[in-house]
Homo-oligomer: A and B are copies of this chain.
């Protein structure tokens, strides 16, 4: 029989908080209820870890992959995240477990005037944790590209105003028995920007978004405040973390704002 080195007794007396695998690429089928029906996520990048009690020398890393393989065969629902975490605790003889599935999420987007529809891609993730007391915590993350148009530039210039692509990153958690749609988070962010971003715009749409952004100037400070307002109105959200980074068209560095709030 082949020796189990990982299971050997470790004498340093140091428990490790997180140990696991990073960047596992896997064609997961996650079935996600979307507002318009069912969406299937079919590719994910997985990070998985558990704690390691002081007396074990190492974690059995191949078991993370085996668990992924088991769950990959059936179509995952989003509440399977919790099941996977408890499976990780059990099969890895651990007290706590952490999991992140990062994926591309596509939503149909209708151009404002031509009404042409195309698919917009958002980098999203499901993050789950189970602690030593078996408390489950679930997070949604979304990265949403938007347009920002500088209020100062508009105010002081005789014509025009510098504008640019910006990226808003949001992470939220909410009461376990409730539900929040990725669509709703994305909508809060897009409605807080100078203008939304679209994959496909015809000339009449381009006129519309150009004028809309000009009428609606926003600093990164304005966006983060409006996103905060939007999130604060939602009573089931108990944690959020926001970053806004604008790739300034007049500089080669970026403008950046950050806010984090743990309620209750």
Contacts and interface: CB of A to CB of B under 8 A. Distances in A.
Interface of A: 2-6, 10, 12, 14, 16-27, 42-43, 47, 49, 52, 57-59, 61-62, 65-66, 69, 72, 104, 106, 116, 118-121, 145, 147, 149-153, 155-165, 195, 197-204, 206-207, 209-211, 213-214, 219-222, 224-226, 228-229, 245, 247-260
23 contacts: A2-B156, A3-B155, A5-B155, A5-B156, A14-B225, A19-B224, A19-B258, A27-B104, A47-B256, A69-B200, A120-B252, A147-B249, A157-B207, A157-B210, A157-B211, A161-B210, A163-B163, A164-B165, A165-B165, A165-B249, A165-B252, A198-B251, A199-B253
Given A25-B252, A156-B2, A211-B160, A17 B260 contact: yes
A14 B36 CA distance: 34
A118 to B, nearest CB: 6
B162 A147 contact: yes
Given A163-B164, A164-B163, A206-B153, A200 B62 contact: yes
Contact of A258 (B17, B25, B219, B226): B17
Contact of A17 (B49, B197, B201, B259): B259
A213 to B, nearest CB: 6
